[in-house]
Each structure stands twice: as structure tokens, then as C-alpha cells.
Structure 1
Amino acid sequence: MSSRKTRMSFRKSSTRTRLRRAVAVAAAGAAAFVLAACGGSEDASAGHGGGHTAASPSAPQDGKSTFNAADVAFAQGMIPHHRQAVEMAELAPERARSAELKRLAEEIKKAQDPEIKTLTGWLTSWGEDVPAEGDAGHGSHGGGGGMMTAEEMADLEKASGEAFDTAFMELMIKHHEGAVAMAKTEQAEGAHGPAKKMAGAIITSQSEEIDAMNEMLGKS
């Protein structure tokens, strides 16, 4: 019995440590992109004049004013993706049982809100469409890219306590996996330096959060 209690205590301690690390990574990413929001759109617009033309290999190679179709797709896809994650996170304060989960949800919101603003600024400076609120949301997105369906969101909104915690983490893990895949595509195919840097931050922070949530669920 003593050995079992020791293992359980170690597991809880390990989970808290992993969660604190995930929260710290998310918080650092949020701080970085508050600054990026101030300079990123100006960098992006330099040399473009707000036009729609995607960058070619002959475009300025300063890693800032250059962008291509992959960068546009990344920004247009990540904005509704982040909006849904924020919407999910906003449910946690009133519905979650776990204090650790509430803290993680708050950090997800803090990290992704400024990224939405930065992505919006890039699209505006490039003369590209910014997804409208609700565009590519639950219903029209059909759950692709890790996005929740309307039914899944409705079920989450009705849940509370331990049932909410479990559903939130299972859905957010799938959601984060979709974001990581999108970010890896941006790193491989994008041309805009700040967007590729954001993609790297998303991969790091959301992978940490996936590990933390899997541990909380007892899956690792």
C-alpha cells in the first residue's frame, strides 16, 4: 500500500511539473508575440504596399517582407483555429474541477489571443482576407484540423466537473495536434520569417501542453 501511495504521489508531482513547464512555455510565447504584434505587420507590409501578390524567390530575402501562399494559408487557417481554442478555454473557469486545468486554460487563452492579433495584422498588411468571426467554425469546418464540431462544442458547454475536465483535455489534445500539423507545414513551406518563428513557438508550446494533458489523463 505504501509503495502504491508513493507511485501515485510521484505521478501527481510529475504531472504538476510537466504542467508548470507547459504553462511557462505558453506564457513565454504569449509575451514574445505581444511584441511581434507591434512590429510584425509593419515588417510584413514593407515592400508590398498591401498588394495580393505572393512572394517569389526574387522577392526581398530579409525574412520579414517576404511571404507566399503557404504563409497566407497558415494565417487564414490558424485564426479560426485559435479562436476556437480560446472559446474552449473560456469555459474552464466556471466548469472545470481541476485548478491545474483552469490555469492551463487561462494560459492557452493568454498565448493565443495575441497570436490571433498578429496573424490578423499580417493578413491585413498583405491585402489578404481575414477570416470573419465564425468563419470556418465548428459546423463548416466539420472537425478538420482538430477543430471541434458544433455537437462536440455543445456537449462541452453542458459538461461540468470531472466530466468537463476529461472532455476538455481529450478535445484540446486533438485540437493542439491539428495546430502542430499546421505549424509544421508552415515551417516547411512558408517564406515569412516571423510566421515561421510563430509556427516553431506553437509546435513547442502546444506539444508541451499535449504531454501535460495526456499525463493528467493517465495516458503517459
Structure 2
Amino acid sequence: MAGGVGLLPVLYYRLLAAAYHHGDMSQAYPLMRGAAPLLVALASAPLLGERLHWRQDLAIALICGGVLTLTILRGASAGADSAANRAARRRATLYALLNAAVIAAYTMLDGVGVRRAGAPAGYAMWLFVLTAALLLASSGRRAELPAYARAHARLLLLGGAGTLAAYGLALWAMTQAPVAAVAALRETAILFAAAIAALLLRERLAPGRLLAIGLIACGAIVMRLG
């Protein structure tokens, strides 16, 4: 299991880069993050033996529907693109869907692994160390890393600490609740991104985006009530 847990995040980063290479982040990211919890919800019953309450099923559908709505809106706004751009978007969509399957797989593996380990913080630390080692081993630009790290030390420390804390909290939540419910609730982070965009960056939220945000918020409320 340890090898799979370490290799899947590496595959995730590779597919993420491929999706962003061929398409916009606003297209690929909501698609992969919205489809992954649906896959986890479908697979968690036969593979993990977790049965969800119907309210939790509804909450997952609302959250994933809101996230996927962002992708639909992005596709509709790009309807007049050239044939080359449409082909690139199709490739980005393919990579994003493949990555959704990878996210679902490592989410369920993490749920099993952290429960067996009994120590979310320790499990997260070892997972990050293993993933970093595998990424370095598979990178062809290792010689550039020291200079890059020195130039962006503050950003690396802040980003690393934030990522570790967020992932550690998600792992701890998987020891307290069904994996599918945690996987869906994790995507409500888009609500905070929207709030930052509107309040700090003064970006205008179109009606379609407000609808997507509303679906995600309703899903989070239903999940809490369930």
C-alpha cells in the first residue's frame, strides 16, 4: 500500500501539469475536483464498506454539481474558439478526468492508511516525504532546485506549511467520518476562493458562478445536517 500511496500523488502532479498545459486552470481544476468525490462516493461502498445516509448522498451531489457547474460555464463561454483550441480543451478534459480517477484512488487509499496508522500527523509527514523523494527521483531538473528554493524560500515555506496543515486535517477527518463525505466537503474550499476573489481582488461574480457557489454552500449545509 505504501508504494501506491506515494506513487499516486506523483501521477497526480504529472496529469495536473498535462491538463494545465493543454487547457485553462478554470476548466481543468473544477472538473477534476468535482468528479473525484463522485467517484469516491460510488466506490466507497463496494471497496470500503461505507454506507452513506441519503442526506450525505444529496450533499455530495450538490457539492459536486456546484463544482462541475464551473466547468460547464467555462466551456459555454469558449464556444467560439478555433478548432485547435477545441482540440486542446478536449485533451485537457481527458487529462482532468484521468486525474479525477487518480484523486479518487489516493483519497480512498489515504482513508484506509490513516485509519490503520492511527496517527494522522505522522502519516501525513511520511506521505509528504515519500512523495517528495519520488518527485525528485523522477525529475530531470534536480540541479535547478537549490537555486529555486533559495529564491522562493518564503513562498515555499508558507505553501508547504499550508498544504501540510490542510492535508493533515483532511486525513484526521477521514478517521472520524466516511471518506466520501470528507472528499466532498474538501471541495467547499472553492467557497473561500470565491470570497477572496470578490472581497479582496474585487472580481465580479457572474450569475452562473453565484449559482455554482450556492449549490456548494447548500451541499455543505446538508452534509452538516446529515
Task: Give the TM-score of the pair, scaled to structure 1.
Answer: 0.42
1 or 2 for the larger relative contact order (CA 8 Å, sep ≥6)? 2
Higher helix share: 2
TM-score (norm 2): 0.41
